[in-house]
């Protein structure tokens, strides 16, 4: 008789501790998976729903309904996605027309925006945000175009193609203006 009472007490204590440990585990788990207070209360209620030792159905129901990933896993996944998008965005999309371009292109074939610079020593393509050439180690110039400021890339590309102080290629009819004679470029009249 004494063994039966002792066995009942031990079994009851074991069932109570199992019930309590499941509730504590569910609370900690849902707290790691959601910041929504109502969802946390609902999850703990599912674990409390059945009498001590018999809350296994509540636990199974919670396991089926809980969010699949923890907040830390979701944050890590979002950081990884952002890093991938940044990698694709920096190298795979034209900053001007937002079309996909290949990594080896120097100029966007759609809008003619300069995508890469060329190293003066080794002629490798360089990203505008690089300070030095990773292939030969040459330091880059620190102009606005080299730093990748918007609009400066086109201006720098245009400045390389037609110098400002270059003499006029064709003198306008009738002798031209004083500016054209002085060597400044003026728009052509057609």
For the segment 122-173, what is each residue's pLDDT rounded down to a tens digit? 888 888 888 888 888 888 775 544 444 544 444 444 444 444 444 444 444 4
β strands within 80-170, DSSP E: 117-118, 125-126
- What is the reported pLDDT for 76? 93
- Residue whose C-alpha is closest to residue 61's, from 52, 69, 50: 50
- What is the reported pLDDT for 36? 92
- What is the reported pLDDT for 60? 85
For the chain, report the end-to-end CA distance as a whole number of angstroms. Answer: 117
Contact 186, 177 (CB under 8 A): yes
Contact 112, 153 (CB under 8 A): no
DSSP 168: P
Query: Does residue 178 sit in helix, strand or coil?
Result: helix
Distance CA 116, CA 112 (A): 12
The overall pTM is greater than 0.75: no
- Residue whose C-alpha is closest to residue 125's, from 149, 100, 101: 101
Query: Does residue 172 sit in helix, strand or coil?
Result: coil
- What's the token pair of residue 172? 């306008």
Where does 112-190 have alpha helices with state H? 144-147, 152-161, 178-182
Q: What is the dihedral of CA 81, 82, 86, 89, to 10 degrees?
A: 70
Chain-centre distance for alpha carbon 165 = 43
Q: Which residue has the tokens 């890339």?
A: 153
pLDDT tens track, the chain, 190 positions: 888 999 999 988 888 888 888 899 999 999 999 999 999 999 998 888 876 657 778 888 888 988 899 999 999 999 998 887 776 655 577 878 878 888 788 899 999 988 888 888 888 888 888 888 888 888 877 554 444 454 444 444 444 444 444 444 444 444 444 444 444 444 444 3
Contact 129, 148 (CB under 8 A): yes
């Amino acid at each position: 008789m004494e063994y039966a009472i002792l066995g009942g007490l031990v079994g009851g204590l074991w069932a109570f501790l199992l019930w309590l440990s499941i509730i504590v585990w569910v609370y900690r788990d849902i707290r790691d998976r959601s910041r929504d207070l109502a969802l946390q209360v609902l999850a703990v209620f599912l674990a409390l729903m059945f009498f001590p030792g018999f809350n296994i159905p509540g636990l199974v129901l919670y396991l089926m309904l809980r969010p699949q990933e923890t907040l830390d896993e979701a944050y890590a996944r979002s950081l990884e996605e952002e890093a991938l998008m940044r990698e694709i965005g920096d190298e795979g999309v034209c900053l001007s027309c937002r079309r996909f371009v290949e990594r080896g292109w120097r100029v966007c074939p759609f809008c003619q925006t300069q995508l890469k610079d060329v190293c003066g020593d080794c002629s490798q393509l360089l990203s505008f945000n690089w300070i030095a050439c990773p292939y030969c180690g040459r330091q880059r110039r620190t102009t606005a175009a080299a730093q990748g400021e918007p609009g400066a890339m086109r201006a720098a590309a245009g400045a390389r193609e037609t110098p400002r102080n270059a003499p006029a290629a064709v003198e306008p009819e009738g002798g031209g203006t004083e500016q054209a004679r002085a060597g400044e470029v003026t728009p052509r009249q057609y």
